[in-house]
Amino acid sequence: MSDSSYKLTTSSRRKSPNRRPVRRPIQTVKGNEENGKRRKRIKTQSGMVVKTSQPPKKRSIAGSTSHGKKKGKHLVPVDAPSRLNINRGIPPLKPVTGNFTTVRVRKQGLPRKVRVSRKTRLKPMARTILYALRLLIVGVGIGAIMGTILSVLDPADRMVTTGNSSNQNQVGQTLSQTNPNLARMNRGLFLSQEILPLKSAVGGLLANNTKLTPGIFLVDLDNGNYVDFNAAASFPAASTIKIPILVAFFQDVDKGKIRLDDQLTMEREMMVGGSGDMRLKQPGTKFTALEVATKMMIISDNTATNMLIQRMGGMDVLNQRFRSWGLSTTTLNNLLPDLEGTNTTSPKELGALMAMVGKGNLVTMRSRDRIIHIMRRNRRNHLLPAGLPKGSTIAHKTGDIGSMLGDAGFVDLPTGKRYLAAVMVQRPQNDSSAETLIKSVSRVAYQQFSQVNTLPGNGYPVPGSVPGAYSGVNPRFNNKIPNTSYPAVPQGNPQYYPYQR
């Protein structure tokens, strides 16, 4: 294509604003060679392209008028090759011949936005705070995991030995291994950690009594700290079996199976010797249910115990009840008096049962108050109560046969603290040293739980830091062991009878 169709003007020449627009040809192409004519394409002002078949004309580069007058210096044919370097020219259209190949062009995706990291946008102080928060979250998570692990580990499951005495028993199996219902039994008994100073003091007492086999369970009910010496072992229950019988009685009262004013008839086959005064009445005498339960506890009446066992369905029914509470060692195998010691229990199960009662897990709070009130009226106060000073109270039940002596109950201090004590001692026949041991254990336990000034750590003073705290001697008792003899029984109106052998 030739660029001769455009007019060349100098930069000093200005166009008149009133000048009419001139149609300018923009391209000249070769026409159909068969007709021998040249065709040219002219672009009009409206944008349309018109092809003409006029012969080529020579036009001036500098421009010309419609009359053909020369305005510029040179004349260049329209179809002559362009010798000027003008970028506005359009090259001639050349037809393309040959084979075409289709090429697929892969579609390019849009460029991905590059986001600036939030970390890079934060200021140094903000990054430091964020880092500290992350460390705090990680620490809390680790603490929660460790707390879960520690809660699974029950300190009561640890094996406990009874000290330096070679005659003491070692707990071969823990309560969780021997008792599949441990979770139910522990609903009212929470154990946290063992009280090492008190354990050391009790161990010193046991070292001087090698011929005795004790089971000792002491628990601070405020925080779960405890002392366990062979507490899960099975012992002859004697009259301590009356504690679970009393709880079962008030369970039936709560369920409406028994009324407190129900009349129970004392039959001849239920009248037995040993403790109590009901056997002195005539057969067929009637007593209210509450009176029978009360005599069973405060004077340890064996006849009253047998009447309640029969009223509640017998020994097998009661044993099933004990299993439902989670007690595996506590078993009734014989009616009272069980001088051979076939009925069994353990200090830990007695303590756990009383803890459940104290929290109202087995009976209503009203029945719980009745149970504690009855047990506080116990007239046999020569064991655990003998180690307590004035101002403290105890709700307890004793057990006494030739081969075993025991006592278990709640102790309330003047400060308002309550702790649990259950001590059972297997002994040579009627050996009085078992009674002395139980009183001594009660004394050191009271001294420990009544401490006011404590040190950090486990909350208990170091042995020797409090005068007389762990030596077994307390000035409050004037360094004298209370009288261990049984009180004389009045001949006119007997209330308590020793066991008949």
Are residues 353 and 223 located together in one domain of the fold? yes
Which pLDDT belongs to residue 409?
Answer: 97
Question: Do residue 348 and residue 462 come from a single domain?
Answer: yes
82 and 226 in a single domain? The answer is no
pLDDT at 203: 94
Identify whether residues 335 and 450 lie together within a single domain: yes
Output the pLDDT for position 130: 82
Whether 75 and 213 map to the same domain: the answer is no
Tokens 């192409």, residue located: 29
pLDDT tens digit sequence for 380-427: 999 999 999 988 999 999 999 999 999 999 999 999 999 999 999 999
Q: Which token pair is 92?
A: 């001639």
* Packing angle of the helix pair 302-311, 289-298 (nearest 10 deg): 140
pLDDT of residue 125: 77
Indicate the residue among 93, 119, 143 that finishes a domain. 93
Tell me if 488 is assigned to some domain: no
Tell me, yes or no, whether 373 and 457 share the same domain: yes
Query: Do 382 and 473 reside in the same domain of the chain?
Result: yes
Number of domains in the chain: 2
Beta-carbon count within 10 A of 346 CB: 27
Report the C-alpha gap between 436 and 217 in whole angstroms: 17
* pLDDT the model gives residue 71: 44
Q: Are the C-beta atoms of 462 and 455 separated by less than 8 Å?
A: yes
Whether 174 and 63 share a structural domain: no
Identify whether the C-beta of residue 409 lies closer than 8 Å to the C-beta of residue 375.
yes
Q: Is residue 139 part of a domain?
A: no
CATH number of residue 431's parent domain? 3.40.710.10
Do residues 197 and 319 share a domain?
A: yes
Q: Is residue 25 part of a domain?
A: yes
Q: Domain of residue 465: give its range.
A: 156-258+312-477
CB burial of residue 81 (10 Å; 0-12, 13-18, 19+): exposed
Q: What is the pLDDT of residues 131-163, one digit of tens each?
A: 888 888 888 888 888 877 766 554 434 333 333
Q: Which of 447, 428, 422, 425 is nearest to 436 (CA)?
A: 425
Give the distance between the most distant pair of CA atoms in the chain: 169
Is 119 inside a domain boundary? no
Buried b vs exposed e over 305-328: b needs ≥16 C-beta within 10 Å?
A: bbbbbebbeebeebbebbbebbbb
> Domain boundary at 57, 74, 93, which?
93
Query: Do 357 and 214 lie in a common domain?
Result: yes
pLDDT score of 186 = 54
In the predicted model, residues of the chain with pLDDT beneath 50 are 1-12, 28-40, 42-46, 49-50, 53, 58-76, 78-84, 86, 154-180, 182, 453-501
Task: Say if CB 267 and CB 301 are below 8 A apart.
Answer: no
The CA–CA distances, whole Å, from 215 to 14, 190, 233, 351, 427 equal 127, 19, 7, 12, 12
Specify whether 173 is located in the same domain as 54: no
E strand segments, 320-371: 344-345
Residue 492 is assigned to a structural domain of this protein: no
